[in-house]
Amino acid sequence: MEKTKSPRLMTTKEAAQRLKVSASFLAKARMKGTGPRYLRLGRAIRYAEEALDEYEAANTRASTSEY
C-alpha cells in the first residue's frame, strides 16, 4: 500500500498571514463563496496550501482593467 502525503493544513490565522490579508477577510470570503477552498473539520476551518496557491493563481492579474 502506497502512502500519500497529506496536505499541510493551516488555520485561518496562518492562511491569512500567508495571503497577507486579515482573518476576517477570509471569514467573509467563506460566507460569500469567493475565497480559497477550505475544509471544515468539526468546528475547525482549515486551508490546504494547494488551495491557497490555486486562489492566488486565480486572482493574479496583469492589469487593473482585467476582470
Task: Render pLDDT for 22-42 as a digit per residue (tens, 0 to 9).
Answer: 999 999 999 999 999 999 999
Residue 3 confidence (pLDDT) above 80: no
pLDDT band with cut points at 50, 70 and 90 for residue 51:
very high
**Domain assignment present for 36:** yes
**Domain assignment present for 16:** yes
In angstroms, rounded to a whole number, what is the distance separating the alpha carbons of residues 38 and 6?
A: 15
Mean pLDDT of 45-64: 94
Number of domains in the chain: 1
What residues make up the domain containing 15? 9-58
Neighbours of 36 (CB within 10 A): 20
Q: Which pLDDT score is estimated for 61? A: 87
